[in-house]
Copies of this chain bind each other. A is one copy, B any other.
Amino acid sequence: MSIHTAPHAASQARSVPCPKARPTAAATLARCRDLVEPALRTAVRELHPGPRRIASHAFGWCEADGTPRAGGAGKGVRQAFVVLGAEAAGAPADVAVPGAVAIELIHTFSLMHDDIMDGDGRRRHRESAWKAFGTGPALLAGDALFALGVRTLAGVGGATGGEAIGHLTSMMGELVHGQADDELFGTRPWTGENAVGLGEYRAMAERKTGALLGCAAALGPVLAGAPPQCTDALARAGRQFGLAFQAVDDVLGIWGEPAVTGKPAHSDLRRAKKTLPVLGAMAQDPALGTRLDRLLGTDGTSDSACVRRAADLVERAGGRAYALREARARVAAGRDHLRAVPLAGPSVDELVALSELLLNRQL
């Protein structure tokens, strides 16, 4: 089969059973994107031209000046979880579309506002929204995406739509709570009673990252009208995969290649962030906190030599290995949730392939 047949195969996948050979994660992502993106573009066209331009830039559909641009931004893992969740519940992929659109809109809203809060000028190798368009317009565009996401899912209506909205609004509460914790952790000390503990960190990560992927995985079966145990299993699996994603993200935030991540070297340490590798290392070496405090402080103004030295200390104390072990354990736990209920096989295989992608991305 030549590569030129791939788009055809992808579009066929909506109406024919999934092939027996396990599809690659890339093929799954492409198939789900083909299904969801037209509806996402239709939804975004409803926006006021100002926020619409900013949203289109964030989705990778245009440059900041409005020039159309080939290729999207991001892998579209979240929308794929919604689609695969519906299929795993035995429904056609189409029923997942409003959920997938809502999840992509809410995810992009949260990135846009987080970048304002964190002062991050780069996102996916391009200028972040506030950097390209200004803080006020980016703030408003985020609000517009938030509102549009809820409205899109509200449009489903009926008991199914009500249940879906319930999942979405719970998730949004968690998302904001997690973000608030994350901001607060940055101001807390490296040592002493008020230092951030591993348990607190995990609770924060579950809210900030786990909840969104958990909701994405739950929306498919909810929209498919699946029984609660099916929805629960997928929601739990999604949360675990979200935590794996965050653990890998934390590793990349310290040791990721700047050319690949699009962020400065050791960027999380530069900002004195207490992420999983650091907290895991500190749990294994109680004296590490004092040394990191000396090297990094809490105001994110350390020089590159100090930051590099801190990264070495965290690695030598086993922080990197700790976070990667946790990521693998989360993926395994997520797969166990998927195996605990009867689900339509091929989509489960695709979910598993995606969870491998989460583990291996950019490392």
Q: Which of A157, A179, A181 has the most CB of B within 10 A?
A: A179
Which chain B residue shows the least CB distance to A144? B176
Q: Determine if A311 is an interface residue (Cβ-Cβ < 8 Å).
A: no
Q: Determine if A302 is an interface residue (Cβ-Cβ < 8 Å).
A: no
Residues of B within 8 Å of A180, CB to CB, are: 48-51, 140, 144
Q: Determine if A345 is an interface residue (Cβ-Cβ < 8 Å).
A: no
Q: Report A220 CB to chain B, min CB distance, Å.
A: 19
The answer on a CB contact under 8 Å between B162 and A147 is no
Q: What mask results when residues 106 to 135 of chain A are scored 1 for a CB within 8 Å of chain B, else 0?
A: 000000010011100000000000000001
How many of chain A's residues have a CB under 8 angstroms from any CB in B?
42
Q: Determine if A137 is an interface residue (Cβ-Cβ < 8 Å).
A: yes
Q: Determine if A183 is an interface residue (Cβ-Cβ < 8 Å).
A: yes
The answer on a CB contact under 8 Å between A48 and B140 is no
Partner of A173, one of B46, B137, B158, B165: B46
Q: A48-B181, A166-B154 are in contact. Are A140 and B173 (CB under 8 A)?
A: no
The answer on a CB contact under 8 Å between B139 and A116 is yes
Q: Report A223 CB to chain B, min CB distance, Å.
A: 14
The answer on a CB contact under 8 Å between B183 and A140 is yes
Q: How far is the CA of A350 from the CA of B196 in the complex (A)?
A: 53
Q: Which of A116, A139, A148, A157 has the most CB of B within 10 A?
A: A139
Residues of B within 8 Å of A162, CB to CB, are: 154, 157-158, 161-162, 165
Show 12 residue pairs from A and B whose CB-CB distance is below 8 angstroms, ordered by the A residue. Answer: A46-B173, A48-B177, A113-B139, A139-B139, A140-B183, A144-B173, A147-B175, A150-B172, A154-B162, A154-B165, A157-B166, A162-B165
Top 4 closest A-B pairs, CB basis?
Answer: A147-B172, A151-B169, A117-B136, A48-B180
